[in-house]
Chains A and B, each alone.
Chain A
Amino acid sequence: MTHSTPRTAPAPESTGTPEDAVEPLLVGSGLRKSFGLTQALEDASLSLYPGEIVAVMGPSGSGKSTLLHCLAGIVRPDGGRVGYGDTDLTEVSDSRLSDLRRTEFGFLFQFGQLVPELSCVENVALPLRLGGESRRRAERTAVDWLERLDVAEVAGKTPGECSGGQGQRVAVARALITRPRVVFADEPTGALDSLNGERVIRMLTDAARESRAAVVLVTHEPRVAAYADREVVVRDGRTRDLGGLA
């Protein structure tokens, strides 16, 4: 799929938002979303630059997951715009959104994202198979990713036979196998203990940086957010960028 935004090297970590350096890859602005009487987002904005990792933090119910879902085109906001290159994700068709999510975006959730009936290697290969890749080639690439994430030993097992930490590393492999430009991770360590959570977040951020993928990382854990380049706080459906404050 063609795209107008140039792929650019990740921004230097120490300089915060590299506004002068490159154009943002993904821009959500003035986002509003309500579910029934609950106003989940009031006025939320977030710009994501190529290759950068942004942590979205905030208390439970503040709207951070809704923000991620709007940015990823999973949920259509009631107002505002989500620009991805020249495309406004709030206006494109469902089939175009599905294409984008399969080819340009990767997803990682707290749990429930792996297909329980498939083996781990089949789960990781799935996005490539859906893109038309042969089973043999897709699974060979999947095994490479499982090795890279240090879980090659579970390749033939089903997700139910894996520990929580192993399952999340398999999910990281699946999120990154298509070399997406943006990874959306929603509380990826939320169900893990400290040690396994640390391992998963380190592997996710290392692999994303190597692949030059940008990451929107929703987390309520400061130690997880510390792996990001900067933080945005969501409070009562409104965003606040902490980048320039310290």
Chain B
Amino acid sequence: MCIVSRMSLGQTLLGLLETRPQHGYDLKRAYDERFATKRPLAYGQVYATLSRLLKNGLVEVDSVEPGAGPERKRYTVTDAGVTDVERWLASPESPEPYLQSTLYTKVVLALLTGRSADDILDVQRAEHLRQMRELTRRKADGDLSDQLICDHALFHLEADLRWLELTAARLNDLAGEVRGR
């Protein structure tokens, strides 16, 4: 299973390119190593995404190497691409099932690119708590069935927050692992 949604695959590749310019093949390997839990990323997906990023000016071709087969292009991220990653990393995700997969990706990329992973977790924590406050207010005004529905959502948000807390406590270990690879 691929843990990064299609929506964020582009930003994930941009983040990996920010660490160093890479060929499509290296990018796929780096991605599979860090983020693909079961099924590796298909080559077609990598090249389709790179071509979209190229078209949007978020990456550019750094060099072309001739080989026995087709030419090998090495890609590098542009300033606009870095800004795109920056914006994505700084925005909280909407709480949803498997949210932690996207958050995990963001945390790893932040550690790889020298950004603050604590900030990412805190932004998300603030967003979760904001939603929890809203649900708590709604619960206070509602009848029993509203209360039960809100409680269900509140317990799920709380579970996410516990994961955020645990991840924050393990950031140093994770940084060591991620940077040691």
Interface residues of A (CB under 8 A from B): 13, 59, 202, 221-223, 225-229, 231, 233, 235, 240, 242-243, 245-246
Q: Does B24 contact A (CB under 8 A)?
A: no
Whether the pair A222, B169 counts as a contact (CB closer than 8 A) is no
Interface CB pairs A-B, < 8 A, 12: A221-B158, A222-B132, A222-B157, A223-B132, A226-B132, A227-B133, A228-B133, A242-B129, A245-B122, A245-B127, A246-B123, A246-B126
- Measured CB to CB, the closest approach of chain A to B143, in angstroms, equals 15
Contact A246 B92 (CB under 8 A): yes
Question: B154 is contacted by which of A202, A223, A243 (Cβ under 8 Å)?
Answer: A223
The answer to the question of B174 belonging to the interface, with a C-beta cut-off of 8 Å to chain A, is no
Q: What A residues does B136 contact at CB under 8 A?
A: 223, 226-227
Give the residues in chain A near B132, CB-CB below 8 Å: 222-223, 225-226
**CB within 8 Å for A202 and B133 given contacts A223-B158, A240-B122, A242-B122:** no
Q: What are the residues of chain B within 8 A of A235 when measuring CB–CB?
A: 168
Residues of B within 8 A of A202 (CB): 140
Q: Which 9 A-B pairs have the closest CB atoms?
A: A245-B126, A246-B126, A226-B132, A242-B126, A246-B127, A226-B136, A246-B130, A222-B161, A222-B158
Interface centre among A226, A233, A242 (most CB of B within 10 A): A226
Which partner residue on chain A sits nearest B168 by CB separation? A235
> Which residues 126-181 of B sit at the A interface, judged by CB distance below 8 A?
126-130, 132-133, 135-137, 140, 154-155, 157-158, 161-162, 165, 168-169
Is there a chain A Cβ closer than 8 Å to B28's Cβ? no
Q: A222 vs B129: C-alpha distance in the bound complex, in angstroms?
A: 7
User: How far, in Å, is B103 (CB) from chain A's closest CB?
Assistant: 15
B: residues with CB less than 8 A from A are 92, 122-123, 125-130, 132-133, 135-137, 140, 154-155, 157-158, 161-162, 165, 168-169
- Taking a contact as CB atoms under 8 Å apart, the answer to whether B126 and A226 are in contact is no
CB proximity of B181 to chain A, nearest CB, Å: 26
A223 cross-chain contacts in B, Cβ below 8 A: 132, 136, 154-155, 158
Main secondary structure of the interface of B (DSSP, over half): helix
Looking at the complex, which one of B122, B125, B133 makes contact with A226 (CB distance below 8 Å)? B133
Q: Is the CB of A233 within 8 A of B154?
A: no
Chain B positions within 8 Å of A246 at CB level = 92, 123, 126-127, 129-130
* List of B residues within 8 angstroms of A225 by Cβ: 129, 132
Q: Which residues of A contact B130 (CB under 8 A)?
A: 246
Task: Say how far A51's CB is from chain B's closest CB, in angstroms.
Answer: 16
Give the distance to chain B from A23, nearest Cβ to Cβ, in Å. Answer: 24
- What are the residues of chain A within 8 A of B122 when measuring CB–CB? 233, 240, 242, 245
Complex CA distance for A231 and B125, rounded to whole angstroms: 10
Q: In the bound complex, how far is the Cα of B132 from the Cα of A221, in angstroms?
A: 12
CA A223 to CA B150, docked complex, whole Å: 11
The distance from the CB of B80 to the nearest CB of chain A, in whole angstroms, is 25
Minimal Cβ-Cβ distance residue in A for B155: A223
- Minimum CB–CB distance from B121 to chain A (whole Å) comes to 10
Closest B residue, CB atoms, query A16: B130
CA distance A113 to B76 in the complex (A): 63
On chain A, the residues within 8 Å of B129 by CB distance are: 222, 225-226, 231, 242, 246
Report how far A222 CA is from B130 CA in the complex, Å.
11
Q: How far is the CA of A226 from the CA of B135 in the complex (A)?
A: 9
Chain A nearest Cβ from B48, distance in angstroms:
34
CB distance from B105 to the nearest CB of A (A): 20
Task: Report how far A225 CA is from B169 CA in the complex, Å.
Answer: 20
Please name 10 further chain A to chain B contacts, defined as beta carbons within 8 Å, in addition to the given A222-B157, A245-B125, A246-B92, sorted by A numbering: A13-B133, A13-B137, A223-B155, A225-B129, A226-B132, A231-B126, A245-B126, A246-B126, A246-B127, A246-B129
